[in-house]
Each structure stands twice: as structure tokens, then as C-alpha cells.
Structure 1
């Protein structure tokens, strides 16, 4: 029986080409750079991030094509939705590499999927740029793996330290998803940061993907009267925890401190006012005041009618970075040359700011502490302390 999801992927690939390139684009160029786009646009919480990434990458590719940034090289995109299924991600990577002969891959959305599929790209010598994978050690898979998403261990300690200074946090409770690589690794980073600051951990609760009722865990946490509750959760589960915590009348002074996965515009749509005051760390937010950032927000709103979140911004920069590497390499087919030029970028001016790559091929951008405004449904820069 044929794999219907892969068949659907082929249709999506053709649709993406038509969307991302002018009608005559391929006919007027002598070279075509085939780029795989692997984002979760279905699959629960993952779709909240993957849809933003896909839309931002499409926007960037359209701009690059319209401006003829790459001269006689055209970008041909092959998009696939892995449904947040790591096994499907592996199948998609294999097809992109072996049959579609892509020269680079942008994605996948989840760290779980990246740990499963990225080794295939590394072995094949195909550069990968992730724009939402924040689990530690991901780029240790190999020298073809890059990411514009700042790892959790470079962000969370700064956020927790801010909570201590601003709110006098001393006693914390932690809750995290036990069956997801991103949430497990986020928890590991969070627990390490708690211990490093000498804070008292009064409880650790877990949940599994697909859970919707967190009242039992929150009731236990409430009894411990923590100063802060630390979330190792994706946006959908994080929003449910915030709502249910308010319904259980937790002390309003209790501070919620989230992980990178909570930085989604959908968090506010799902949590509403319950997201007021949540602290997170990120390399970007929609109010970031630079010309490049403001132009991106305006273009994204004009095209899609919504305000982009950080995953859109990171995907947008990933698209421009791979295009810049192709431009510098002057080739549409030599993945090693493109990888080397990508690694050599040190002065890229992106939506996230000016950055290059660390020795581990992580984006060298400065994380910022943000605070959630559930009424306005935005993250803003947290007040200085």
C-alpha cells in the first residue's frame, strides 16, 4: 500500500515551487538550488511553530526570487509536513536526499525529529539549518548541522536569574513533558540552573504528550506554595497549565517562568489573560526595534494578516542564510561548498540582529528576557532590574 503521507508531500512540493517562484522563474535561470523544507504544520503543538516557520520561509524565498539576489540561480522549494512524527521525518529526509537531490534542508520543527533525521543529512553531506530546535547538543550530530534557534542552556539561566532579582524567587516547582526531547532537555537545563542559583526545589511534576488535565500536578504544586513555577512544556500544554493554575486560584504572586517553546503567539490565543506575567527568554520579539526586524514584521503582517512570532523570525533568517551561502558559493548543487560558505558567515544582518556562528554552529545572538502580556497578546521586553 503506498504511503499516502509521502504522496501528499509530493503535491505539497509542487505547490511550494509554484508559490515561491515567479511563473517564469525557473525558465529564465540556468541553475536551480533545490531546498528541502521540513516543518510540522500538523501534529498538535508542533504545528503552532511549524506553520509560522513555513510561512516565513516562503516569504523570504519570494523576496529573494523577486530581488534576483542569487543572479541566475533559482530556489526550488520542496515542502513536507512531518506531522510531528519522527519516523515520518526520517522518511522525508531520505526522500529529499536520495530522490529530490536537495542541496540543503531547513528544519525540522521538533528536536525529537532532528535527533532522528539530522544524522542522515550529516552522512550525506547536506547542510541543515534548524529554526526551532533548542535542545542541547543537537549540533554535535556533525559539522553540517546549524541552527538559528538559540539553545535553551544559553537562555534559561538568564531568565531565572532575572526572576530571582525581580521577584525574590527562592522556592520553585517544576513541571515538564516527560516524553519529548525538547521538554526533557529543557527541564534538565532548568533543574541545573535552579541548583546553580541555590534555589529550593519543592516539587517536580511530569505529564505526557496529549495530556489536557493538569489539575492533579498543579494541586500538589499549590500545596508547596512555591515562589515560581517553571514550565518545560510546548505552547499548547503550557497554555493549559497557565489557565488551570489560575482556575485553581494559585497565589497570584507566583511567577511562571517558561522555556523557549512557550514563545509562540498561539500561547496567548490559548491562554489569554492567564499568560500575564510569564517570563521567557528569546533572541527576538515582534517589538524588536531595528530596521530589518520592523520590515520583516510589516511584510509578514501584509502577507498573512498576523504578527510573526520568534519561530517565524528564526525561519526567515534561516532562509536568508542559506541563500547567502549559495550566493557566496556560486553553485546550486555543491552542498559541501554551500556548507563551507554558510559556516564562514560572520557578519549576517538578520531579523534577530547581527550574528555569525559559534564554534558549535549556533547563532551568536544575545538572548533577551521577555514578559507576557495576556491582554495585548504579545511578549515585550521585561522591565530592567
Structure 2
């Protein structure tokens, strides 16, 4: 409740700041004036580069930067048309994200915003960008109150929209007796743990014999691990944050449980590697993995490795597809104005497109992807067929 009130106060203060700044600005730029595509199109990235979720923000920005390289090199938007991206770092703070958003909106040369990735930051800026008609593409930010109007877009499929493939995998592998542990204060995991997993288990004939709630502040899972090990389930569904999952897996194995554990995409991108051998055999659904073998995924892998010298992860793919969604939107409307981008991205969303994450569709302005199951073994992901 306290967070909600703080967020609302920040949003209201920011809106007032924007009105003042807009009243004092010096009119529209080439990028914002009328129809047509400007020669120079500026995007402001506002996502964490430092702090607890820096892995998501830096990944999104790196993927977006690769997409911009390709868009510019291909002259996708016309000869001489260049997209550029400038970076801000809210560093995990809501008020900084709001401040950086208001600054970007007041700059008439900025055509769109990428980010933030943290759900609380995104929920704070969403009403602001909708009010001031600034097209904003979020990655991650899976909580409610993010995609709330015509000018908010999300290039990450909500976890609950593809978690059914994990439950189907359990059924296909005849792992019917389940224990569940979930972080009840993390909105995405709370929804999965209270609704999605039980509902899917019921549909597939799986038995959820044990359901254990934890909090975001929980750091020691000794008791819960022993309780689950004693129940001897065929599989454990683990809905925990990246640091929590490392601790839980280690303590679960020490408690004697050697069965199957199913996680979430939070464990991807090497986030579970700190668990060492305790993580071997972990399976989880992802929106993207470098283990995926579609032509688009392979093409993205090769381009990313050429630019950065390493394999991409899901956060990179989300930023990459987000920027291509933006470019397609500009082309569809033949306008790089803020209104043109909003209209164009909405048009693209109606038909969808194929990106690094596969055949992308949308529910309104909210992305949906096929998803894939992967297994973590000895420090890398492999695709499960």
C-alpha cells in the first residue's frame, strides 16, 4: 500500500513538471513535426544499468543497439535515415525513472522511450507517458499497471502467458505429483503460484500436493527445503527470484531431494550458475534462449556474437525485438513523430511479426511469444524438444 501511494504521488508530481516544461519548450523538432520520417530519430533508453536488475536493463539496451545497427545499415527507414539511442540509468529507483522520463518527454527531439525494466518504475511512468503521448516500449516490467493506454507497449511476454508449456512438459514426462514453492510478494510469482500453476495442474491431471509461500525477504530456505524433501514429490515447481533460487536449490539438494525442479525464465541468462551442481537438470520455460534453433534466433545469435563476443540471452532478445517493433511502426505509418510511432506500432501489433523470439503476436500492445523449454546443465542451456 505504501509503495502504491508513493508511486501515485511521484506520477502526479512528474505530470505537473512535464506541463511546466512543455509550456516553456521551444516548439517541435523535425522528428516531431508533421508526417514523414525524419533523417535523425532519437530514442531515450531508461533502464537500470546498475543495481539489482542491471542484467535486464543492460541486456535490453545491448539488444536494442544491435537492432539499431542493422536498421541503419539496411537503410530500413530510407536512405540517410539514422536512429540513435541515448542511455539513462535509474539505478533501481522509482523517482529517478520518473525524473528521467519527464526530461525525455520535455525534449521535443526524443521520439520514443525504451524502458524501464523494473515493474515498479514502469508502473510509475506509464500514466505519465500516456498523458503526454510519448510512445514507450517496456521490456520485462511484468507487473500490472504497465500497459495501460495507447502509448504504452511491452516487448516482453508476461510469464504467465507461456508458463503453460512448463506444466505440459511435466505432464508429458509423467511427473504428476508436485510440490510448489513461490515468492508471494513478487507480483508475477504470486499470480503464477496462486492461480496459473494450480489451474494448469488441474487441467492436466497433475496433483499439487504441497504449496509453500515465501516472501521477498526470505533468504534461508532450510525449513522449506526439508519439508519438500520429506514429501518426496516427483517434481518441484520453484517460483523464486534469481538469488533466492540459488540458495533454495543448494539447500534442497542438501536436504536429500534429487528429483526434478522446474523454474522460470528468471533463472536464465546464467542467473542460476552460482548454484553450481545443485542447478544441474533444472528446466524452465523462456521467451528466448541462444539454444533455440529457428533461423531468426540463429541469425540473431551470430550478429550478437559478432558485435559483443558472447551469446545473447533473453533480455538482449527482448531489446532487439523491441527496437525492430519500433522501426516497423515508423515504416508502417511513414512517420517518426510520436503520434506516428504510436499509430504505426499499434498497426504492426495487429498483424505481429517474426523476430529473434520467434513468431511474435500481441494482445493489444502487449507481446506474446511461443516460448521454449530449456534445461540447465554444466553451465549452459540446451533446448528440450
TM category, shorter: 0.7 to 0.9
Confirm or deny: 8 A CA contact 2:72 2:81 kept in the other structure.
Answer: no
In structure 2, the residue corresponding to 1:125 is in which secondary structure? coil
In structure 1, the residue corresponding to 2:110 is in which secondary structure? coil
In structure 1, the residue corresponding to 2:362 is in which secondary structure? coil
Confirm or deny: 8 A CA contact 1:328 1:341 kept in the other structure.
Answer: yes
Per the alignment, residue 67 of structure 2 pairs with: 60
Would you say 1:227 and 2:234 are equivalent positions?
yes
Confirm or deny: 8 A CA contact 1:36 1:105 kept in the other structure.
Answer: yes
In structure 2, the residue corresponding to 1:121 is in which secondary structure? helix
Distance in 1 (alpha carbons) for counterparts of 2:266 and 2:159:
9
Instruction: Count residues with an aligned counterpart.
Output: 344
Per the alignment, residue 362 of structure 1 pairs with: 366
In structure 2, the residue corresponding to 1:266 is in which secondary structure? coil
Would you say 1:126 and 2:138 are equivalent positions?
no
Would you say 1:33 and 2:37 are equivalent positions?
no
In structure 1, the residue corresponding to 2:284 is in which secondary structure? strand
Distance in 1 (alpha carbons) for counterparts of 2:169 and 2:359:
24
Distance in 2 (alpha carbons) for counterparts of 1:94 and 1:183:
31
Distance in 2 (alpha carbons) for counterparts of 1:232 and 1:204:
10
Deviates more, 1:56-65 or 1:347-356: 347-356
Would you say 1:109 and 2:117 are equivalent positions?
yes
Distance in 2 (alpha carbons) for counterparts of 1:338 and 1:232:
36
In structure 2, the residue corresponding to 1:363 is in which secondary structure? strand
Would you say 1:339 and 2:352 are equivalent positions?
no
- TM-score, length of structure 1 as denominator length: 0.80
Per the alignment, residue 147 of structure 1 pairs with: 154
Structure 2 unpaired stretches of 5+: 1-36
Confirm or deny: 8 A CA contact 2:180 2:193 kept in the other structure.
Answer: no
Q: CA deviation at 1:320?
A: 1.2
Per the alignment, residue 293 of structure 2 pairs with: 289
Would you say 1:352 and 2:357 are equivalent positions?
yes
Change (3 A) 1:136 1:369: farther
Distance in 1 (alpha carbons) for counterparts of 2:109 and 2:284:
39
Q: CA deviation at 1:286?
A: 0.8
Change (3 A) 1:73 1:307: same
In structure 1, the residue corresponding to 2:83 is in which secondary structure? strand
Superposed, which structure 2 residues align to 1:211-290 within 5 Å?
212-250=219-257, 252-253=258-259, 255-268=260-273, 270-290=274-294
Distance in 2 (alpha carbons) for counterparts of 1:161 and 1:108:
32
Distance in 1 (alpha carbons) for counterparts of 2:96 and 2:225:
34
Per the alignment, residue 381 of structure 1 pairs with: 383
Per the alignment, residue 372 of structure 1 pairs with: 376
Distance in 2 (alpha carbons) for counterparts of 1:215 and 1:67:
55
- TM-score, length of structure 2 as denominator length: 0.80
Distance in 2 (alpha carbons) for counterparts of 1:136 and 1:59:
29
Change (3 A) 1:206 1:106: same
Q: CA deviation at 1:34?
A: 2.1
Of residues 292, 304, 317, the one that matches 1:313 is 317
Of residues 208, 216, 234, the one that matches 1:208 is 216
Deviates more, 1:339-348 or 1:99-108: 99-108
Alignment RMSD (CA, Å): 2.5
